[in-house]
Structure 1
Amino acid sequence: MVDQYFQVGKIVNTQALRGELRVLASTDFPEERFQVGSELAIFKDKELLAQVEVDGHRLHKNFHLLHFKGYDSINDVEIFKGTQLKVHASQRQEELGENEFYYDEIVGLEVVTDQGQYLGKVREILALPANDVFAVQSPEPGHKDILIPYIADVVQNIDLESGQITIQLMEGLID
């Protein structure tokens, strides 16, 4: 069986000279995933570059600044710019609460209105301070993504079995 990993962040840049990396989280559990002692895997595309252990974590603006054990200079970590941070399936929390989902369960789902209008598929999830936002890729070429806030007034139902999210359109949500 091939090991299964789930993305928890993207390394976007280095930070200073002592081996810290700027990470954009793509997990609802950044405090858990990036805590000191956490084991993560670094992937470039589908290639595993390194298994690392977090030995430093702090927040700076909208980034998580991570330091990995044994990577003590900018020269050690520059190769990781633009890569994905993943967690092994064995470290994934088994049970989530009601109406809680892993990002990878949502990405790819079809989005329809409560009137049956097909809007597209979830391309990515933007983790914003107020709430997550689903970026829905329009099926029509050249159209911008539709941004759907993950709030109770809009998202009516997420059905993983049918692969569909049902939303109630709010005024101004779609141009």
Structure 2
Amino acid sequence: VLDRAGALRTARARHHLPFHAGPAPEQLSVVQAWGWLLAPDGRVLLLLEPDTGAALLPGGTPEPQDRDNPLATLRRETHEEAEAEFGDPQFLGHLCDPDKPYARLRYAAPLTRLGPPPVDPATGRTHIRVLATPEQALEFFDWGPPAANQLAAVHRARAQFGIPRAARQPLTELPDATDPTIF
């Protein structure tokens, strides 16, 4: 799947933004809400752009219908991008750019359902959905040393959800719908 998507040829955008475990300060505008969605075996849902192989977590940018509710943004974007649903989320923290008044929120939640792959209304493309360990997912991003703090927060949430730590294994593509052995 990585060769087909070109994931290993795609340059990773450099985002070495500090991760803060607490809530974002009120003076910062929320520009993203992304989720670490954990399958029952401890792997996370990762999306690959079909034309470039660029990786992303489910989530995205707030829109007016979200009514300034980051969880509404995360649920809407996750449905639009991956036809996925998740259980009760746990807020992990936020990233902020020292040069911009923005906050990028991060959540973790148990992945509860995955339907057929949708066409993302924002891009007109269908993402390639894969399961990867959280550590493997980080290998697809250039988040630098601050990513270690975000990864630690993911593992704390995973443990609180009662989800086991995933063993490293090849990525698993989820092409059509829910694999009954996963959920």
TM-score, length-scaled by structure 2: 0.25
Relative contact order higher in (CA < 8 Å, ≥ 6 apart): 2
> Which one has the bigger helix percentage?
2
> Which one has the bigger strand percentage?
1
Larger Rg, first or second structure (1 or 2):
1
